[in-house]
Structure 1
Amino acid sequence: MKSVSVAEVRAHFSALLAEVEAGGQVAIMRHGKVVARLVPGQAQTALNALEHLWAGDPRTVDLQEPADAPPRPMTSALPW
């Protein structure tokens, strides 16, 4: 995520909007603290939101539960 000052936002607002429109995110800083974020307006898919967690083709990610996962509670196995 790109960080910019309020002064930079005023000077380059159109360019920052173009960057966000292309899928980027911009943190707006005042006195070293984030006061706002510019993010794309459209909802992301789960695949796009988690894409940064792995390298390469996201379609090759194995989504199987690991063998050492803790057991699920019995209530989740009951049909009622």
Structure 2
Amino acid sequence: MKTMTVGEFKTHFSQVLKDVEKGEKIGITYGRSKEVKALLVPNEKLKEPRKLGILADKGKVVFKDDFKMSEEEFLNL
């Protein structure tokens, strides 16, 4: 894991994002002690769509062709 100060992070923001996109983890340090305060990690995409739990596939919504709603009704005016 690569670490950098807040100042370095602000200066090289675009490059940091490119590095994270490639899979690198980057720690952001702050203060005199240079303690890691934040960690940037790549976004891992979900391989499967999330399930709704026990209610998955239990219901559905159907709108009839003649369903109409005015803007006032939609905005509850």
Q: Which runs of 5+ in 2 are unaligned?
A: 46-77
CA RMSD of aligned residues (A): 1.8
Q: Which runs of 5+ in 1 are unaligned?
A: 44-80
Count matched residues.
45
Q: Deviations over 1:9-32 (max 9, x none)?
A: 100001001000000000000021
- What is the identity, as a one-letter code, of the residue corresponding to 2:30? R
SS at match of 1:36: strand
Higher helix share: 1
Q: Please list, as runs of the form range in 1=range in 2, the aligned pairs for 1:23-38 lying within 5 A after superposition.
A: 23-31=23-31, 32-38=34-40
Whole-Å separation in 2 of the counterparts to 1:15 and 1:35: 20
Q: Please list, as runs of the form range in 1=range in 2, the aligned pairs for 1:40-59 lying within 5 A after superposition.
A: 40-42=42-44
Higher relative contact order (CA 8 A, sep 6+): 2
Identity of aligned residues (%): 40
Which of 1 and 2 has greater Rg? 2
Q: Deviations over 1:9-62 (max 9, x none)?
A: 10000100100000000000002101101100115xxxxxxxxxxxxxxxxxxx
